Amino acid sequence: MMGIEWLKPAVFFGSMLYAIIGVLVFWLCFIIVDKLTPYKLWEEIVEHKNMALAIVVGATAIAIGQIVAAAIHG
């Protein structure tokens, strides 16, 4: 049984710190992917309704998220 271990300030703030670091690393990786592509991802997906690109970007986002989560989790 886990109990209320997660309510301890050190555990709570450690989890928050890792979450923030994970989001920042994910955001940075996504910006790098956006810069590596020959067009603007957001404009192509939202304005031009490119569904195929949206699926690829979504899959890339999931993959980057899994890598970041695995790196943080250890």
Model pLDDT for residues 2-17, shown as the tens digit of each residue: 667 767 888 778 878 8
Q: What is the pLDDT of residues 15-46, one digit of tens each?
A: 788 888 888 888 898 888 888 888 888 888 89
State the pLDDT at residue 71. 78
* Contact status, residue 53 vs residue 45, Cβ threshold 8 Å: yes
Q: What are phi and psi of 52, to 5 degrees?
A: -60, -45
| Stated pTM of the model | 0.66
State the pLDDT at residue 12. 78
Domain range annotation of the chain: 26-74
With vertex at residue 15, the alpha carbon angle to CA 9 and CA 18, rounded to the nearest 5 degrees, is 135
